[in-house]
Amino acid sequence: QVPEKKLKLVMADKDLYKACAVEVKRQIWQDNQALFGDEVSPLLKQYILEKENILFSNDISFLQNFFSPSPKTRRQGEVVQKLTQMIGKNVKLYDMVLQFLRTLFLRTRNVHYCTLRAELLMSLHDLEISEICTVDPCHKFTWCLDACIREKFVDNKRARELQGFLDGVKKGQEQVLGDLSMILCDPFAINTLALSTIRHLQDLVGQDTLPRESPDLLLLLRMLSLGQGAWDMIDSQVFKEPKMEAELITRFLPLLMSFVVDDHTFTVDQKLPSEEKGPIPYPSAIPEAFTKFLQENRIACEIGLYYILHITKQRNKNAFLRLLPALVETFSDLAFSDIFLHLLTGNLTLLSDEFALEEFCTSLFDGFFLTACSR
């Protein structure tokens, strides 16, 4: 602990300040938010650049993409490690960093700040810094979600835990929802929730069950909607969960399930002996409601895009070409967002043979990719 007078002398001398141990710098920073901001700012810029470099890198395939590294590996990154070291056990500095992240997220809408929010907390968790973990109300929620991200799936037991945390937000403490929504807005969280949703829908098809009858599926949607609403919540400072539109559950998800059924029936039809009847064509029409949902409903759009990634990964060319036209106009152009295009391009490497066919290329390039050029 350095006396206040000495700290002022250190601050006045740039070289002395630079040579200081981080323990001394923490004492200076905690009463000088601007100075601390100057130290943290280049790190945050570097973090965003690193994320974009991965997204725009051209050495991707379906095996190796943006979401491949495990949470533990990501937390070993230089920026997270440096920030963790700068914060030490100092709650005040931790709060300052969170404030910077909230402000930058609001200013730029860049979701990578949400990833850093979660990574930083889990990095402190790895080091067992209870001074901070016990005071961050999101700690247990983030820890549980982190395990789901590691498995790329939300299982029933963890789903119950996550629901418990959400239902446990007490009156007067609703602000916690703002932080939880930011943690759910992390692309790694959204990726896990969306993949789990697609898996659930397929299971429901096998069980002849409607989406509204699956509590686990409804919880996934609730978390997706909290994550997608993070920016609006922090911007408006109105801390309550976004209302779930009934049509999403009663109309949109059954529509997706009907696509799965179309696939199954087509496959079975192909195997039936054809007595004089010609080959059965794959259904090519897209229900108008599907296109409308993708344009007007953010969560429907997110789930729809993940369904398209799923069929591409399965090398299901028919289903892919059928739904591709729906991607030209989507909610706030989500189909042309960095993350979706990155994943789609990676999955398309599985369809390399199809690129020899003119019809496939025309649909993909003229019908989808090149439509973005005029914007």
The tens digit of pLDDT for each residue in 289-348 reads: 999 999 999 999 999 999 999 999 999 999 999 999 999 999 999 999 999 999 999 999
In a domain, 218, yes or no: no
In a domain, 300, yes or no: yes
Structural tokens at position 356: 């020899």
* pLDDT (0 to 100) of residue 159: 95
Of 124, 117, 122, 121, nearest to 178 by C-alpha is 117
* pLDDT (0 to 100) of residue 374: 83
Per-residue tens of pLDDT for the chain, all 375 residues: 888 888 888 888 889 889 999 999 999 999 999 999 999 999 999 999 999 999 998 887 778 899 999 999 999 999 999 999 999 999 999 999 999 999 999 999 999 999 999 999 999 999 999 999 999 999 999 999 999 999 999 999 999 999 999 999 988 888 999 999 999 999 999 999 999 999 999 999 999 999 999 999 999 999 999 999 999 999 999 999 999 999 999 999 999 999 999 999 998 888 888 776 677 889 999 999 999 999 999 999 999 999 999 999 999 999 999 999 999 999 999 999 999 999 999 999 999 999 999 999 999 999 999 999 887
In a domain, 360, yes or no: yes
In a domain, 127, yes or no: no
In one letter, which amino acid is 287? P
* pLDDT (0 to 100) of residue 6: 86
* pLDDT (0 to 100) of residue 322: 96
In a domain, 290, yes or no: yes
The predicted model scores a pTM of 0.95
* pLDDT (0 to 100) of residue 58: 85
In one letter, which amino acid is 291? T
In a domain, 314, yes or no: yes
Structural tokens at position 233: 């919540």
Task: Indicate the number of domains in the chain.
Answer: 1
- Residue ranges making up the domain that contains 368: 256-271+286-374
In a domain, 278, yes or no: no
In a domain, 309, yes or no: yes
Q: Is there a contact between 227 and 185 (Cβ–Cβ < 8 Å)?
A: yes
State the Rg of the chain over Cα: 24
Long-range contacts formed by 142-150: CB under 8 A, 24+ apart: 142/118, 142/183, 145/118, 145/183, 145/184, 145/189, 145/192, 146/71, 146/118, 146/122, 148/192, 148/196, 149/71, 149/188, 149/189, 149/191, 149/192, 150/70, 150/71, 150/72
Long-range contacts formed by 172-179: CB under 8 A, 24+ apart: 173/137, 174/239, 174/240, 175/239, 176/137, 176/138, 176/239, 177/226, 177/233, 177/239, 177/240, 177/241, 178/102, 178/230, 178/233, 178/234, 178/237, 178/239, 179/98, 179/117, 179/137, 179/138
* pLDDT (0 to 100) of residue 277: 66
- The number of helix segments (H) and strand segments (E) in the chain equals 22, 0
